[in-house]
Amino acid sequence: MLAEVCPSLQTLCAHAITRSDITTADRLLQEYCEEFQHIFGDESCTMNMHKHLHLMQCMFDYGPIYGFWCFPFERFNGQLESYHTNSKNVENQIVKKFLRSQTIKMLPTAEQDSSLSSMSHVDYHLTGITREIYHRLLFLQTTMLPLDSYSFAIEDFGSIMDTSSSQAKDAVLSQDEQKGLLQTYEALYGSITISFMPLHIRKFSRFTFCGQCIKGSNVIAAKWPQSQTTCRIGNISYFFVHQIELVTGNSTVHLQHLLARVRFFQQHPCADYFNNPDIVVTYYNDYDSNMASCTFLPVQRMTGLCAHGTMLLPFQHSMAEHNVTVSNILPFNFTVL
């Protein structure tokens, strides 16, 4: 059995490791556990042996073991130790706090149990958005342009978009910004005539979207404007409120929008390097000039914030490693009522 476990542990504990090495080590650990079970029986198998079989996925998620805090079960022990206790009955206090935290995580959302809204004995309140607004947002986040008229107006989403936490500043659009913003509106509203587009805007450094604070300088993902499947990754500069007048038929419509100024990163040819739609590879610190017409993004078009970092990756077409930015898309969390 040592023939299987020793090489696998040496591989897993290395400071640098490839995906194929991780897969091989996982196979050896699985063979070790199966042989141990066959020789000594089920009653001799320990919890740690089971946890070893999750190391592969943990390393795919977080990188080499030295890149995060030891083995996953040691990290879990650290979480238990972080619970505040007094000096009496420490074990009981830890167990109670652990069970309480797990119970909170397992509370059903209104989307999972539609009967919650009609149950008078429920003593907790789940904030969220209506199912109608949720499906409308989902449509706007994923559908190719152009869309139906007035889709991105604040009036339809005012209850879930709040700029009160950020102090507004008055600003004036430059000629280039006017041109880019006009291209955005033309993409949104097609051939409808824009009768008035003011040069003044109200700028914000942050806003709250369904209870989640989004700040200027955050990295976001958006499916805009030509693809339903590939997310583009961009860096927010600021947010602003802007109102226009549209002429439709014999009437004039006043629409107010909340938009983000975004610089989109240059898409890498191996954007799907990790074979995961939520992990996108872009060129490091290189912006896409072809996305200039998409500089102004309706906030409803954003699909999530991104955790991102710079790393060296080897690519099949080159023996050299390239410095790239890897972004992990974290979709917005909605509680649907």
Same domain, 53 and 167: no
Q: What average pLDDT does range 218-230 have in this prediction?
A: 73
- Residue 11 falls inside a structural domain: yes
Tokens linked to 203: 């700028």
pLDDT of the residue at 236: 92
Give 234's strand partners.
220, 264
Query: Would residue 168 count as lying in a domain?
Result: yes
- The Cα 286–Cα 114 span in angstroms is 46
Residue 117 lies in a domain: no
Angle at 316 (CA atoms; ends 311, 317), nearest 5 degrees = 105
- pLDDT band with cut points at 50, 70 and 90 for residue 240: very high
> What count of residues does the chain have?
337
Q: How far is CA 42 from CA 33, 50, 71, 309, in A?
A: 10, 12, 24, 43
Mean pLDDT of the chain: 78
Domain annotation covers residue 269:
yes
Q: Is the Cα torsion angle 9, 13, 16, 18 positive or negative in sign?
A: positive
The pLDDT tens digits of the residues spanning 19-50 come to 888 888 888 888 888 888 888 888 888 888 88
Q: Is 80 exceeded by the pLDDT of residue 200? A: yes
Instruction: Assign 144 to helix, strand or coil.
Output: coil
Q: Pairing state of beta strands 296-298 and 302-315?
A: unpaired
CA distance 270 to 315: 8
Domain final residue, candidates 102, 119, 149: 102
Residues 91 and 143 in one domain: no
Domain assignment present for residue 115? The answer is no
Which positions ≥6 away from 71 have C-beta within 8 Å? 51, 55, 65
Residue among 197, 196, 179, 186 nearest 146 (CA): 186
Please count the structural domains in the chain: 2
Q: In whole angstroms, give the CA distance from residue 193 to residue 108.
A: 47
Same domain, yes or no: 234 and 178: yes
Phi/psi of residue 23, each to 5°?
-65, -40
Residue type, 105: K
Highest mean pLDDT among 52-56, 222-226, 257-261, 266-270: 257-261
Please indicate, yes or no, whether residues 10 and 155 belong to a single structural domain of this protein.
no
User: Do 143 and 256 have their domain in common?
Assistant: yes
Q: List the domain range (segments joined by +) for residue 53.
A: 2-102
Q: Would you say 292 and 180 are in contact if contact means Cβ atoms under 8 Å apart?
A: yes
pLDDT at 105: 60
- For 89, list phi and psi in degrees, rounded to 5: 50, 50
In this prediction, residue 90 carries a pLDDT of: 80
Helix axes 19-40, 2-12, angle to 10 degrees: 150
Are 61 and 148 contained in the same domain?
no
Are residues 81 and 209 both part of a single domain? no
Among 311, 297, 231, 303, which residue's Cα sits nearest to residue 263?
297
pLDDT for the residue numbered 316: 63
Give the integer Cα–Cα distance in Å for 299 and 220.
Answer: 10
